[in-house]
Amino acid sequence: MNLTKKIGWIGTGVMGKSMCKHLLNKGYEISIFNRTADKASELIEMGAKFLKPIEIAQTCDYVFLMLGYPRDVEEIVIGENGVLKNMKKGSYLIDHTTSSPDLAVKIYSKAKELEINSYDAPVSGGDIGAREARLVVMVGGDEENFANVEDIMKTYSSKINIMGSAGKGQHTKMSNQIIIASTMIGVVEGMLYAQKANLDVDKVIQLLGGGAAGSFSLNVYGPRILKRDFEPGFYVEHFLKDLEICLTESEKMGLKLSGLELAYKLYYSMIEMGLGKKGTQALMLALEKINKENS
């Protein structure tokens, strides 16, 4: 493991912050940037340097992104003051943002022209996966030289796979989000049913979590829902963005995914309820509202 390589990290929000902590604790030299500077204060206290994105691009061997939306990625990477044209030849750009497969391909092509290694590498596991260093990383890009990047990612991940060429990491994440979207509906509706049947819902979660109904959503978010903890491990507004990408890509492929369409409608209703900054498990609030209106 080469700890002398300089790492730049742009985006230190709910997940990015924890991922950076693992790198700092491992001994890596890190420069960071976040639009909301307060979110970077703890990392600065741990030894990270706060630099502008262009400064990060010019001085770092590896530049990681963990942003909110494809438009943020496009602006930061290939915008007028984008990092890509300021990065060193032979350096690495790794985008952990859940973003558009087409944008990942576009960035890869521009990076190739500049002799920069580009990887789309969205992650799954939420805030708890980031804190406990057991994120799953799905990667699109060239296998050549990837071992250098993988070595760094292992600091905060439990499983990393290259899924194919540029954009394939994002396509894999879309499959992940489609599965999660319908699973969360099932978790919430199952809990609503258990409540209505006057069952001990905590016991239901513990028992069913060990059987065929067990899932990350049930085992991790079920107890949070029960405690009325709707704070974000992953923001509703960001999840809705992911589902919009899923729908766009599905349409391109000629796929009609009815479960995905239903999930999108339900999560869109949460935005209308002002719940965009809550966690995805706050779907319970939307379904409670629907049942109250229908009772």
- Catalytic positions: 173
Among residues 294, 290, 288, 287, the alpha carbon closest in space to that of 185 is found at 287
The distance from CA 41 to its chain's CA centroid, rounded to whole angstroms, is 22
Measure the CA–CA gap between 184 and 191, rounded to whole angstroms: 11
Residue by residue, DSSP assigns the chain as --TTSEEEEE--SHHHHHHHHHHHHHT-EEEEE-SSGGGGHHHHHTT-EE--HHHHHHH-SEEEE--SSHHHHHHHHHSTT-SGGGSPTT-EEEE-S---HHHHHHHHHHHHHTT-EEEE--EESHHHHHHTT-EEEEEES-STTHHHHHHHHTTTEEEEEEEESTTHHHHHHHHHHHHHHHHHHHHHHHHHHHHHTT--HHHHHHHHTTSTT--HIIIIIHHHHHTT----SSBHHHHHHHHHHHHHHHHHHT---HHHHHHHHHHHHHHHTT-TTSBGGGHHHHHHHHHHHH-
Measure the CA–CA gap between 43 and 145, rounded to whole angstroms: 29
